[in-house]
Structure 1
Amino acid sequence: MGRLSLKEKVMVATGAATRPADVPEQVADLKGHEQVNPPMNQRVMEWLERYNTEFDDALPAHISRAAFFAAVRSLLPTLARCTPASTLDALLACARFGLVPDGRHAVIVREGQMARFIPMAQGYVDLMCRGEVQSVVVEVVRENDHFQWVPTAPLGEDLVHVPARGMKSERGEATRVYAFAWFRNGQRSRAVVLDREEAEEIRDEHSRAYREAVAEGREDSYWHRYFLQMWMKSAVRRLPKYVRMSTELLTALMAADDAGEAGEAQSFHAPDPETARLLAEAEAAARAAEASQDTPAPTTTRRLPVKRWQPRRKPSRRARRGRKQPA
């Protein structure tokens, strides 16, 4: 199957698509846990492969469709319980941002019958490092660690973190998460520090899935199961305001992330292939322009020729004889 038609895009946006007849329901064991069913997995993959052209267009050059689908195969028991529209929406959003749903850069989770794309902290870091950022540090502070943060102090003197010796359990519970970026020129950004209370406020205010799970007495939302990872991602999400860079792609990723939290379509927030190419070219041109201002270009202009001064020549005798004598 080729690119999505307008009708199919509307179905993805509204979740109106129904399960294809050749995609069977997921089986479950007596405890309700999802099980791997090889024939079913193969049929789900065959259905997804109908959209090969769409995924080829969405994925960046450094990620092959084979590598992307290799990560998707481990998600098949989850995807089989989701509507095809939401599955396609979540996977295309993930692909268009150049992220792999490997659990480290991004994940695809099931909320009811809806699939949802969740970029993780490392996914945000990857997008930042496509610009002026060399690397991003994200660390967890625990109860027995030595930690001091003075936001008004000069960079390099504002933050001190010395982890306590021993195993993670001996260091105590997590109390804070901080993040900062190193730029390619050797400088460092300001640090973002989030304590547990701030992370819980972000969760309670922005996660629809968490609120619904609490209302129904469940503890199966992603915030329930992976609180620390979401806490770390929340700290990284606040870094762009301290990073001097083009943030169009990061802004789009945040919009897609927020749309997933609200239960809305996500792929429409991701740049389409043509937009992604133009953004990449614009960012490269901006970096080249900044570099040209830092290092003066060599002067290639030639000096204009200057006529040398010459002494005035005396007229010849013949010329003097030819002159009329005054009366």
Structure 2
Amino acid sequence: MALSSLKDRVRAATTEQPAADATVQALATDAQGPVPAAQLHTSAQAEGDDVADVALAWLEQYGDDFTKALPAHIDVKAFLSAVRAALPGLVHCTPASLRQALLTCARFGLVPDGRHAVIKREGAVAVFVPMAQGYVELMYRSGRVGSVHVGLIHEHDEWNFEPTAPAPLDFTHRPALAKSKAERGPVILAYAFCWMTSGARSQVVILSREDAEEIRDEYSTAYRRAKESGADDSFWHTDFTKMWAKSALRRLHKVVPMSAELVALIKADDAGEAGQVQVIHAPEDAGLADEAEEAHERAEESQDPQETRVRPLARKRSQPRRSTRKGRKGARR
């Protein structure tokens, strides 16, 4: 009997049970080709909610995987509830890529609500895209960052930047909030900086529009693909100022304390922009921990040199037990 509605076709295509030994990496590599559920077109707008409900029911089969990936403070039902709103726009994606993108999002403890993260379709592939608020969230979780500031400077705002002046006198921004958007003029700069829990402030990262465009042109495969196809539907097309601000925020990784989790988020974000599989790493991965520690050391060195304070002892990286005594001799004072 022919399936008469889109809802019936989605239900029929999503009845396959998940493999018992499925893992995040396996979900990233299996089912390389599109399957019927991923190729369906929402031919009738009235069926959109039905499609989302059926697709959500299919994802709920993987509830244990999402529960294991999510941190304790995020309920799996709340996570999947946020996912539902985006599902009608993701029915063209392969199931493997959709599961992988959602599991990656869950692994970082970010909800795909449009503020912290987004699951976006690139061709037949679902891609996890952390947003600026997602980066801020992970910076706070590091325990070393007290506050994060990201802003946009309009043409007629009052601002001043003197890199040679001591922090916080080197940078000021007074938005002309009493003026209308038209009176404030176009955005001319994006900036970001952090205050540490130690009381020190990071360097201020400032990006011009030209800087943001260079980042977009060099690193975003999604932008190039959308431009070449004439679709103009990448985030760089539809939300340029948000991506501009996010780029300034990302540049902070060179001058703020980093956690292994934040290093992993940057790598996953870069892979998505480059059109690569977003394979995530465990936070205890030695390479990520080393990168995070190096970023922390750079952040410490970037602070106001005129500020007198006792430098903390360098953190000793994990070493084999036999070399522990030697490592103590090499620790910085």
Question: TM tier, shorter chain?
Answer: 0.7 to 0.9
Question: Structure 2: how far apart are the matches of 1:17 and 1:53?
Answer: 25
Q: Aligned residue for 2:208? A: 195
Q: Quick one: structure 1 residues 3 and 102, their matched pair in 2 at CA, closer, same or farther if it must change by over 3 Å?
A: farther
| 2:269 corresponds to which of 244, 249, 257 | 257
**Which amino acid in 2 is paired with 1:161?**
H
| Aligned with residue 93 of structure 1, among 104, 111, 123 | 104
Report if the CA contact (8 A) 1:256-1:270 is conserved. Answer: no
Per-residue CA deviation, residues 169-223 of structure 1 (Å, 9 max, x unaligned), is 3211110011111122332211110010000000000000111111222211111
Query: How far apart, in 2, do the equivalents of 1:81 and 1:116 lie?
Result: 12
Q: In the alignment, is the contact (CA less than 8 A) between 2:152 and 2:187 conserved in 1?
A: yes
Q: Which of 22, 27, 33 is the aligned partner of 2:42? A: 27
| Closer, same or farther: CA 3–103 of 1 in aligned 2, 3 Å | farther
Q: Which runs of 5+ in 2 are unaligned?
A: 1-17, 297-311, 314-333
Structure 1 match to 2:81: 70
AA aligned to 1:85 is A
2:184 corresponds in structure 1 to 171
Q: Does 1:215 align with 2:215?
A: no
Aligned to 1:312: none
Measured in 2, the distance between the counterparts of 1:35 and 1:195 equals: 44
Amino acid at match of 2:83: V
Tell me the percent identity.
49
- Residue in structure 2 matching 1:140, options 128, 143, 152: 152
Q: Which amino acid aligns with 2:80?
A: F
- What is the root-mean-square deviation of aligned Cα atoms in Å? 2.8
Measured against aligned partners, the alpha-carbon deviations of 1:233-277 in whole angstroms (never above 9, x if no partner) come to 11111112211x3432111111100111121211x22437x869x
Greater relative contact order (Cα 8 A, min sep 6): structure 1 or 2? 1
Question: Match for 1:265: what amino acid?
Answer: V
Write the letter of the residue equivalent to 1:213: A
Query: Does structure 2 conserve the Cα–Cα contact (< 8 Å) formed by 1:178 and 1:192?
Result: yes
Partner SS, residue 141 of structure 1: strand
Q: Per-residue deviation at 1:103?
A: 0.5
Hey, what does 1:37 align to over in structure 2?
48
Give every structure 1 segment of 4 or more consecutive aligned residues whose post-TM-superposition deviation is greater than 4 Å: 1-4
Q: Is 1:183 aligned with 2:183?
A: no
Letter in 1 for 2:158: H
Query: Structure 1 counterpart of 2:232, which letter?
Result: E
CA distance 1:134–1:3, change in 2 (3 Å)? farther
Which AA in structure 2 matches 1:109? K
Q: Secondary structure in 2 aligned to 1:110? A: strand
Q: Which amino acid aligns with 1:211?
A: R
Tell me the TM-score normalised to structure 1 length.
0.76
TM-score, normalised to structure 2, is 0.75
CA distance in 2, matches of 1:24, 1:119: 25
Give, in whole Å, the separation in 1 of the partners of 2:50 and 2:39.
Answer: 10
Q: CA deviation at 1:79?
A: 1.7
Q: Which residue of 2 aligns with 1:318?
A: none
- Whether 2:22 is the aligned partner of 1:5: answer yes
Determine the C-alpha separation between the residues in 2 that align with 1:143 and 1:35: 45
Q: Who is 1:316 aligned against?
A: none
Q: Once the 2 structures are TM-superposed, how far is the Cα of residue 17 of structure 1 from its aligned partner? A: 4.9
The one of 222, 228, 233 aligned to 2:246: 233
State how far apart, in whole Å, the 1-side matches of 2:30 and 2:243 are.
27
Distance 1:4 1:99 in 2: 25
Task: Find the partner of 2:138 among 115, 123, 127.
Answer: 127
Larger radius of gyration: 1
Q: Which whole-Å CA distance do the structure 2 matches of 1:4 and 1:147 have between them?
A: 56
Q: Provide the rounded CA distance (Å) in 2 between the counterparts of 1:17 and 1:94.
A: 22
